[in-house]
A and B are shown apart, each in its own frame.
Chain A
């Protein structure tokens, strides 16, 4: 069971919004890069987000570049899971590969600052602030298994290969 506060974001948050190209030189210094997470769209996000909090976004979260750093810095900043109506394909894989859950659900039922309780086993989101409860969409079995191990590197360390 995950519990935390939601930070609401609009549709089409790109990986340039999360980790802009002007910070390209910080990509091998992830703690420093993480200090700037989402700063061009939400300047106070980095200082306000607490470990265990969530992002609740609209459609197509994480579109654009394949830079996995976007998923990594969100996780380093303390984000426990991304909730969105939909996510871009490469970001989806990247987030799961670094052990950051991506939960597809109706984020219209979430406002900025709402307290959420997420049941990953029962696949439901409970909005403790407004009393609504709604389901999380399913995703491929292989991604679930990677996520269960905490990401692709721990998964490969354990299994040595992809299980077919």
Chain B
């Protein structure tokens, strides 16, 4: 019987013939923590008494969720993480370097690896053909100490996306459509494995967006076969030698197949307070938006800022709408400045935030007021997510976000393209 991508990667990793349902002990090729989950992980690490770090060069710490620190408590947590990095030899990305998932794909993740991060959106690196999955602090603490973790080999859903995207429709719209179709728990414990013409033609940025949101359907990982797009990306990041061709066997067994025609998709929005609560942007016209946020590990990349800048070029944000922009990494910020996108966004009235998670997690930098609605390019719109349970969060693409910033209400971006 042939193997899915998940079965192939986990078989090779564990040196066994792994099939869906098996429990394996996997070698962890990269383990990482961020400032929200890291301090507890380090306390658990200490409590375990193991003391050693299996592969310090493959352990990375990020200060991104509350960075720069908005409070003394969080400043102290940052000190804890910096001290651990110095002591253990693990690499640390300090405040302003960017969101962990973006830095991981820019500088660390490679095809065929098993990646464990103490953050649910660790799945982002699945776009590079890495079996990447989020875990909690204790699991990652033990993975850091031992260099191993246990995994149940997931069943896979085959998601085949045919056709091409219409103008104004992006990977984010596909992600929201897919989650709406599967439901917020429709792929719980499963591996989503993407293929089809629209996937082959998709940029790495689009693939990262789609992989990033796999967890919003409950999935354990969202995997892409590797191809020339993957190779070119890795080469551009100085890791061309680590490219590997990875694809599922033609006779692999899937629990479920989902077919989507990309050309049938329209700009899509998630309504409060659930990611699977979707509607078309045009159906929500008239919904007033107090804040637009463009950024995050979902849509804070150079391609996303380019789309937003093209729509906002020569225009101004609506007087009753504020626009916050947080590039996903320092690298993205630098390139966006070079390309003129930041200048365009600032001229349109945007507030530029430092690379990092920004207001996505409700810690700082754009907490919403009671009754306010935000159109965000992030991946979650749960009640209270952006710091106020009395606020309303809508999710959409950078194009929908930029168009809505101009109109002051949810807007179909095709009107501006």
Contacts and interface: CB of A to CB of B under 8 A. Distances in A.
A142 B23 contact: yes
Interface of A: 12, 14, 16-17, 20-22, 24-29, 40-41, 59-60, 63-69, 71-72, 86, 88-90, 93-94, 97-98, 140-142, 151-153, 156-157, 161-162, 164
Given A24-B362, A60-B184, A64-B380, A161 B73 contact: no
B138 A151 contact: yes
Interface residues of B, number: 58
Given A25-B71, A25-B73, A161-B146, A89 B387 contact: no
A21 B120 contact: no
Contacts, number: 151
A78 B56 CA distance: 37
Contact of B49 (A25, A41, A157): A157
A61 B127 CA distance: 27
B125 interface: no
A66 B23 contact: no
B240 interface: no
Contacts of B44: 153
B136 to A, nearest CB: 4
A24 B74 contact: yes
25 contacts: A21-B385, A22-B367, A24-B362, A25-B70, A28-B39, A28-B40, A41-B383, A60-B188, A66-B37, A66-B119, A66-B135, A66-B137, A68-B40, A88-B185, A88-B218, A89-B220, A90-B136, A93-B136, A94-B138, A152-B139, A152-B142, A153-B47, A156-B50, A161-B148, A162-B148
Contacts of A68: 37, 40, 118, 136-138
A14 B382 contact: yes
A128 B220 CA distance: 37
Contacts of A86: 185, 188
Contact of B120 (A65, A97, A98): A65
B123 to A, nearest CB: 11
A64 B23 contact: no
B416 interface: no
B65 interface: yes
B139 A60 contact: no
Contact of B135 (A17, A93, A151): A93
A12 B274 contact: yes
B36 A12 contact: no
A148 B129 CA distance: 35
Interface in B36-91: 36-37, 39-40, 44, 47-50, 65-66, 70-71, 73-74, 76-77, 80
